[in-house]
Amino acid sequence: MAGVAATYGAPIILMHNRRDMAYRDLISDMIADLKESIRIVKEAGVKDENIILDPGIGFAKTVEHNLEVMRRLDEFAALGYPLLLGTSRKRFIGHVLGVPVEERVEGTGATVCLGIMKGVHIVRVHDVLPIARMAKMMDAMLGKGESGHR
């Protein structure tokens, strides 16, 4: 896959995932895993500007792992690549709020807002309109976007 992305100059998303949840130190291990993925795709010819990182919320992680990753997203952003966050309707939101999947828009919004504060560039969501409004407001408050309606 990396070779195809390199050949066509396509962006590539490197999502953290493991076969198991055996972490020595969650964030350090995740960053090491992502750095290895970066090394592999760069060796295949993918340019830095085409690499996007995704911490893989919900993949090979417990609820507590996911919450820790959310608290420490800035450490992933510090790697210098755009960061994608895919928390929409995830199980850890349902666990914390005690709500079914179709009632997780507010929890998703909270994760997106925290993500934006911590350096996330891209979000993947199901409920586009309310989350886009939240993201626009966060960007305005953080001085990252337009502050008015046109």
pLDDT tens-place string over residues 130-144: 999 999 999 999 998
Report the alpha-carbon distance of residue 136 to residue 147 in Å, rounded: 8
pLDDT (average), residues 67-92: 99
* Whole-number pLDDT of residue 145: 73
Report the alpha-carbon distance of residue 6 to residue 74 in Å, rounded: 27
Round the CA-based radius of gyration of the chain to a whole number and report it. Answer: 16
Positions annotated as catalytic residues are 90, 124
- 52-144 has CATH 2.30.110.10 classification: no
**Is the distance from CB of 56 to CB of 29 less than 8 angstroms?**
no
Average pLDDT, the chain: 96
Q: Which residues contact 144 (CB under 8 A, 6 or more apart)?
A: 116, 138
